[in-house]
Amino acid sequence: MKRGIIDRYPLDERGLRVVDIAAQRVSDLYDDFDRNAPFVRKELDVDLVEYLIESGRELGRIPFLINFTLAEPLDEALKERVRSSVPNYFTYLLAKNRRELQAMLRTSFILLAVGAAMLAGSIYLGHAVDDSDPVAWRIVAEGLVIASWVSLWEALAGLLLNWRPTLRERLVYRHLQKAGITFNRSPDAVPG
């Protein structure tokens, strides 16, 4: 199955897989809301980013390059702007991903500490409360047991399971950040 997906990406002369992107002009690669920003600082088009990320996931660790086929002619300065803006965007996503991972781990450790404290409190209350105490105290003791296990479960899920997809995304972003970028002129382009 994986081989069939990878074969959808052609090989270049060096044996690298090629992720092809076709557009009329360079401005089609960027978000419209950011019109006045230079291309180096503009947000990439959402559909382009999704396509690149999905291609990066499919290709996994296989080396690839991104080829832009454009109808408009490009001078070297514009090519260089695109060559720097695409890695810059994935550098931004890597930094955002790192902050999300740090927040997730921080939350997990806080939940772990809170859950452990609540569990200790529930054990203490469980030994301190007996059948002669009011029902309210027994409810509080049982509630603390349940709350502590929920907190511990969330902490352990974050520490053992939830960070892995975020880390996988990080690897895809890094791969896209380092991908080579080439340009072609569309064969059906109107001379410009």
pLDDT in tens, 47-83: 999 999 999 999 999 999 999 999 988 889 889 989 9
Q: Using 50, 70 and 90 to split pLDDT, how confident is the model at 42?
A: low
What is the C-alpha to C-alpha distance for residues 170 and 95, in angstroms, rounded to an integer?
Answer: 9
Evaluate whether residue 167 is within a structural domain: yes
Range of the domain at 38: 2-185
Q: pTM here?
A: 0.78
Instruction: Give domain status of residue 192, yes or no.
Output: no
Q: How far apart are CA 20 and CA 127, in angstroms?
A: 67
Are 109 and 53 in contact, with CB atoms under 8 Å apart? no
pLDDT of residue 191: 45
Question: How many domains in the chain?
Answer: 1
Tell me how far CA of residue 66 lies from CA of 50, 78, 119, 122, 135, in angstroms.
14, 16, 53, 57, 67
**Predicted confidence (pLDDT) at residue 89 exceeds the cutoff of 60:** yes
Confidence of residue 110 (pLDDT cuts 50, 70, 90): very high
Mean pLDDT of the chain: 86
